Amino acid sequence: RRGRMTSTPTMTADFARPQSMSPADLDDVERIEKAVYAFPWTRKNFADSISSGYSAWVVRDAEVMLGYCVLMMVLDEGHLLNISVAKGAQGKGVGRFLLDWTEKVAVSLGARTVLLEVRPSNPVAQGFYERHRYERIGVRRNYYPAPDGREDAIVMRKTFMAGEHQVNGSARQAGRGAL
């Protein structure tokens, strides 16, 4: 069911709560991925994520995809594998909305922490995560492909306090349904 997103006050677009990513979404996902990354995930990466039961979500404004995210759970830890926002939707709260949704789903599935990797060459993303209380905890050497070979990844983690990100039934059900 689609409805007006009201919990993000600076959001300028009217869009529905995230929907589970399906194979039918992959054309739009692939289009956004290729537009926002020099070294994008492949369509098969997303298809494998769906078939592996990862928590994968898309958000749309009517029929236009604005962004998506992929979360893998391992015991009590969520690993944010991919979060992307279409170029035309960047800076409008979509990324914040997706990150918040992903955290709520992770917590509903028992996560105490969420980990992610970010490129050192992407200070905008680093700042975004730092503003959302992610802390740098390490480096993965030669993690990403880069024009001159490989680039390290900064590993970041957010730890949730007891009671943080209490979720309503719909987010709890959505999280369970996606795995």
Residues forming the active site: 117, 129
Cα–Cα distances in angstroms (integers) from residue 178 to residues 61, 109, 166, in the given order: 21, 10, 18
Closest CA to 35 of 84, 93, 95: 84
* Residue given tokens 């236009």 in the structure block: 64
SS3 for 62-79 is: CCEEEEEEEEEEECCEEE
CA distance 67 to 65: 6
